[in-house]
Amino acid sequence: MIHCDGLVKIYKTADLEVVALQGLDLRVEDGELMAIIGSSGSGKSTLLNMLGGLDRPSAGKLFVDGKDMLTMSERQLIRYKRESVGFVWQNNARNLIPYLTAQENVELPVLLKGRRKKERALELLDAVGLQHRRHNRLSELSGGEQQRVAIAIALANQPRLLLADEPTGSLDSKTASQVLDLFRRLNREMGLTIVIVTHDPQLARKVDRVVSIRDGRTSSEMIRTQADIEEEDNIADVYGHVEQAETHVEYAVIDKAGRLQIPAAYLDNEAFKDHTRVKVEWEDGRIILSPPETAKIER
């Protein structure tokens, strides 16, 4: 679904150039549910905007659903945004009109007419479990319900790809968890490919794969193991919490030049802190990284 190779995005302002993506590689398969995490300013939203056709990459390769996002004409881009991709944002105001009912909000983007438009809106509200609230104005719905309306709207024209930017950012943890369950259901039942951008590492346990971005590049990946998918319901504790380490295996990404980014959390460990080198050894088919034996030096 997504094939991104050496993607670069440079923002030019009057006297400054910001390199937001510096050669990012990413592949997302059809029907995947995955998350992109990274600290503030790492380039997550920039990537999402490129994937959604809201902005153009500066260089590199980006194919989404077989379409070349660098060479697409303006007309093709408008069509792509309307038909191939759906968006969900953290801020509901960006998607919804408060004085209209849930149903009226969902009808707005549906490209059908008359009775079929209404039927489609009801179908969508049903898909997100909100048929019973269809006559309520948006202002009468809770944050989680509003977010579900936003998801119904994003699905209006049957996109193959759903992009969500901090979709649970303004929700409490229980409501956030329900919204994520909905994403999982839509992914499984409709085969929808879903990419969620978030700050929240806890979200990792809800998705199959989590890609970390650091300084505009992919740095590591966490992949949920098959056994964990099957046992998923058994390994949650009484509060529904699941330890991330139990469900995912972490991979560091090696780029084409053989560069490897070690996840920051490992390097924050006392043993590695303040070193600018690590000792590299080969042992029994493993590459072992350890702190240098000498005193802290090497700057």
Ligand X SMILES: Nc1ncnc2c1ncn2[C@@H]1O[C@H](COP(=O)(O)OP(=O)(O)OP(=O)(O)O)[C@@H](O)[C@H]1O
Give Cα separations from 274 to 49, 267, 290 (angstroms).
36, 9, 13
Strand order in the sheet with 161-165: 85-89, 161-165, 193-198, 33-37, 209-214, 217-224, 248-252
Of residues 42, 84, 147, 193, which one binds ligand X by CB under 6 A? 42
Restricting to residues 177-206, which ones interact with ligand X according to CB under 6 A?
199
Side chain identity at residue 261, one-letter code: Q
Contacts of 181 (CB under 8 A, 6+ apart): 206
Q: In this chain, which of 14, 15, 40, 281 binds ligand X, going by CB under 6 A? A: 40
171 class by beta-carbon count within 10 Å (0-12 exposed, 13-18 middle, 19+ buried): buried
Residues 199-258 that bind ligand X (CB under 6 A): 199
Stretch of 24-32, 38-46, 64-72, 95-103 lying at the interface with ligand X (CB under 6 A):
38-46
Stretch near ligand X under the rule CB under 6 A, chosen from 13-21, 80-88, 140-148, 239-247: 13-21
List 35, 43, 80, 155, residue binding ligand X (CB under 6 A): 43
List Cβ neighbours of 275 (8 Å cut-off, separation of 6 or more): 291, 292, 296, 298
For residue 16, the minimal CB distance to ligand X (Å) is: 8
When asked if residue 44 is in the footprint of ligand X (CB under 6 A), the reply is yes
Comparing CB distances to ligand X, the nearer of 44 and 205 is 44
Q: Which residues pair with 15 in a beta bridge?
A: none
Closest CA to 29 of 51, 8, 2, 4: 2
Say whether residue 276 binds ligand X (CB under 6 A): no
Q: How far apart are CA 204 and CA 224, in angstroms?
A: 9
Which listed range, 39-47, 60-68, 121-129, 150-158, lies at the site for ligand X (CB under 6 A)? 39-47
In angstroms, what is the minimal distance from the CB of 87 to ligand X? 14
**Least distance to ligand X, CB of residue 47, Å:** 7
45 binds ligand X (CB under 6 A): yes
Task: Give the CA angle between residues 156, 157, 158 to the nearest 5°.
Answer: 95
Query: What is the rounded distance in angstroms from the CA atom of residue 235 to the CA atom of residue 232?
Result: 6
Residue whose entry in the numeric block shows the structure tokens 């038909």: 83
CB of 114 to ligand X, least distance (A): 40
| Minimum CB distance to ligand X, residue 42 (Å) | 4
Q: Of 35-43, 58-66, 226-234, 245-253, which part binds ligand X (CB under 6 A)?
A: 35-43
Q: Is 58 or 136 the residue whose CB approaches ligand X more closely? A: 58
Q: 290 by DSSP, 3-state: which?
A: strand
For ligand X, the binding residues (CB under 6 A) are: 11, 13, 18, 20, 38, 40-46, 199
